[in-house]
Structure 1
């Protein structure tokens, strides 16, 4: 009788764990999601800009410590605060938005420290070239938005890219190859 009782408790525990472990889909919230970049301009000041339009989804299973992401960036939404510079960045010297209107990051490799996402490794497709990229989390949190009463997860992620890996060679070596990227992203539970 005690073995049957123990097996019943074990079965209930497993059912409870499976109910808690779930893959939840979150949609990128555009008002709190941006990709910014920094590059030193000819050894002098740091040029900064951002992409204003990001869309996509993130699937997160915190109990199983798994996740995946499909994020798209509109390179035409680049914003440095200088219209002339933005137009140059949109042309074939840099993002060639006429031929490549989409930048995509896809990942199925989320790393966790405890319950927090610590990094996301995936593939960045830019100018038709795919390269592996790891985004390190500097902040991560999930909360319930008191205004909308919806669950939100997000954080700050960063990496340094070598732009020449994607064929963005304009201005090398005067404009460095290294570009620091900071991704601020929030996504709403669907």
Structure 2
């Protein structure tokens, strides 16, 4: 009987500790005016093709004290923008992002790594072209501040990762020597709700 009581007390303590830790979690909404998802890929070993996605939305739950969080970002793949209409159209085609069949890509993460109170990595799953694989975004910059304009806390930073596009079935140009690795750069700011 004593061991059962001890087990119940231990379970209650762990549950209360978890609840106390989550009491510091706050919800944030992605600020589309300060959030950009861009990509870079080599072009025949000569230059670098770059593009961005103009439409994105998402949310963050962040607990700085508990060093935990969750991120959900959805990117409208049809909003790809390279500054050149013909290139945009090709990127939207079935050769690459296939926006008619796959109108969005998503990043869902629930593993945050910290150094002190700064986020250093966010790990989760990227879904692109109907394929889902692990992706870790490494922070090159991270900060939270009180916005004088919004009168709210804003947290965010610059993150980057390199992904193998062929893992998602994006094989266009591989036979011609286009690289399979794509550099993904994410600038994100989220406003506390």
Pairwise same-fold verdict (TM > 0.5) = yes
Runs of 5+ consecutive residues of structure 2 not aligned to the other structure:
1-15
Q: Name the residue aligned to 1:186.
A: 189
Distance 1:44 1:38 in 2: 13
* Structure-2 residue corresponding to 1:148: 150
Cα distance in 2 for residues equivalent to 1:65 and 1:179:
29
Contact 1:36–1:50, Cα closer than 8 Å, also in 2: yes
Offset, 1:54: 1.3
Cα gap change, 1:148/1:175 in structure 2, threshold over 3 Å: closer, same or farther?
A: same
**Aligned-residue RMSD, C-alpha:** 1.6
Could you tell me how far 1:142 is from its partner in structure 2? Answer: 0.5
1:177 to 172, 177, 180: 180
- CA deviations on 1:45-93 (whole Å, 9 max, x unpaired) are 1111111111000100000000011110111111111100000000100
Q: Residue 160 of structure 1 corresponds to which residue in structure 2?
A: 162
Distance 2:125 2:46 in 1: 31
Aligned residues: 175
Q: Which of residues 69, 91, 94 in structure 1 aligns to 2:93?
A: 91
Which aligned pairs between 1:3-152 and structure 2 lie closer than 5 A? 18=20, 21-152=23-154
In 2, the alpha carbon distance for the partners of 1:43 and 1:50 equals 21
- Name the SS for the 1:70 alignment partner: strand
Q: Secondary structure at 1:124's aligned position in 2? A: strand
Query: Aligned residue for 2:3?
Result: none
Give the match for residue 9 of structure 1: none
CA deviations 1:143-165 (Å, max 9, x no partner) are: 11101211100000000011000
Q: Any conservation in 2 of the 1:21–1:62 contact (CA below 8 Å)?
A: no
- Deviation (angstroms), 1:20: 9.3
Give 4+ residue runs of structure 1 displaced > 6 Å after superposition: none
| Displacement after TM superposition at 1:127 (Å) | 0.6
Structure 1, unmatched stretches of 5+, are 1-13
Cα distance between partner residues in 1 of 2:21 and 2:146: 20
